[in-house]
Amino acid sequence: MQPLLQTEQALIEGIDQQRMLSRTMEWAAINSGTANLEGLAKVADALAECFSALPGEVTLRDPAPVTVVDAEGHEVEKPHGRHLVLSVRPEAERRFLLTGHMDTVFPADHPFQELTWLDDDVLNGPGTADMKAGLAIIAEALAALETSEAAANIGYDVMINSDEETGSLSSAALIDELARGKFAALTYEPSALPDGTLAHARGGSGNFTLTFTGKSAHAGRNPQDGRNAIVAAADCAVRLKQMQHADLPINPAKIEGGAANNVVPDHAVLRFNIRPKTTEAADDFARNLEALIETLAAEHDLKIALHGGISRPPKPVDEKAQKLFDLVRDTGAALGQTIGWQSSGGVCDGNNIAANHVPVVDTMGVRGGKIHSPDEFMIVPSLTERAQLSAIVLHRLATGDVL
């Protein structure tokens, strides 16, 4: 373990927990569910004002077009909010990427909208842990880094997207663009456990929609002339589940469609999710799904259209990424923090970053828990812990041959 240098100690002396807490509370008080475009715009403006204090240029990028399949099987465009990008010293040879998201899972009409103190150190509220506190940590850690002489020799991009909670479909291309060529990346999802444990290797995730187009007929007079889309969708759901194995959890989630009880239904929509743990499992599934669709279409004599795919590739931890984890652990130890890690079935933008062969630690945000529920909480002292950790990790990445 490398102990803190005098320059590193000086680096973190200005980190201000109250400033981070105030920002977190301000941003968490604004509903920014992924579909709440007005709320996202308000948060984006507040974030732009905050990050404009850093050197570089802040821009709000338009979302890439995204389509979804509605309950009737029609492909329609889904609007998204804009994404914030701060670019600092783009000409630097060694550059980093820091990412977070401004959206939450709580829509504007969700009852969970208020902040509540559970005790002196624990704050309950929507998006507190996931991840508006993480955004405050990014701003604070970078402000601390900029006080160092080493900052002049490195550059970085900060990307805060508006759609992480729904798979980053409108920001995936932006993440790829910004990740390419980076020396290392940090993402500010909350810790995997309240004790500060990091998420290590991650599986991938893909969301798919299959639209079945059959033929309607009278259920009593001439059912033989119909082609039952609901039956085909149900058959598909069962066969998908039978394709599951240890490296490929599959979750058929929803079937929509149908008609009156006396009508053979001519349309159905099946939605399902997969969680491939390896790239091989993901590739095998793509081939097997194509064969399954062909088989079902022939057996049920109807048409099947596929929409969607894998939006989060699996994230293994290679040698270079492990060195970044080791750096975070050792820096934490120098600060008196015990930091470990464990594999996770969850996914995030760290998956997309790692697909560009960039080492990334993606749970650098606050300690907290019960995210995606009205019991979500953050542990306030971890604002300082994680901001100090990030500032020194970035400084060591800037000044040493650590990867």
Q: Can you give the residue ranges of every domain in the chain?
A: 6-67+79-203+315-399, 205-311
Question: For residue 401, what pLDDT band results from cuts at 50, 70 and 90?
Answer: confident
Question: For residue 189, what pLDDT band results from cuts at 50, 70 and 90?
Answer: very high
Q: Provide the CATH number for the domain formed by 205-311 in this structure.
A: 3.30.70.360
Residue 1 has pLDDT above 80, yes or no: no
Residue 279 has pLDDT above 90, yes or no: yes
Fold match between 6-67+79-203+315-399 and 205-311?
no
Interstrand relation of 94-101 and 184-187 (parallel, antiparallel or unpaired): parallel
| Count of positions (residues) in the chain | 403
pLDDT of residue 44: 98
User: How far from each other are the two terminal CA atoms of the chain, in whole angstroms?
Assistant: 15
Spatial separation of the C-alpha atoms in residues 373 and 162, rounded to whole Å: 19
- Per residue in 303-362, pLDDT (tens digit) is 999 999 999 999 999 999 999 999 999 999 999 999 999 999 999 999 999 999 999 999
Interstrand relation of 75-77 and 67-69 (parallel, antiparallel or unpaired): antiparallel
Burial class of residue 80, CB neighbours in 10 A (0-12, 13-18, 19+): buried
> Residue 208: what are its φ and ψ, rounded to 5°?
-130, 150
pLDDT of residue 305: 98
Residue 192 has pLDDT above 90, yes or no: yes
- Cis amide leading into 159 (omega within 30): no
Residue 403 has pLDDT above 90, yes or no: no
Please state the rounded mean pLDDT for residues 259-270: 97
Global pTM value: 0.95
Residue 210: what residue type? L
Token pair recorded at residue 38: 């007005």
Q: Provide the CATH number for the domain formed by 6-67+79-203+315-399 in this structure.
A: 3.40.630.10
Spatial separation of the C-alpha atoms in residues 264 and 231, rounded to whole Å: 10
Spatial separation of the C-alpha atoms in residues 17 and 137, rounded to whole Å: 9
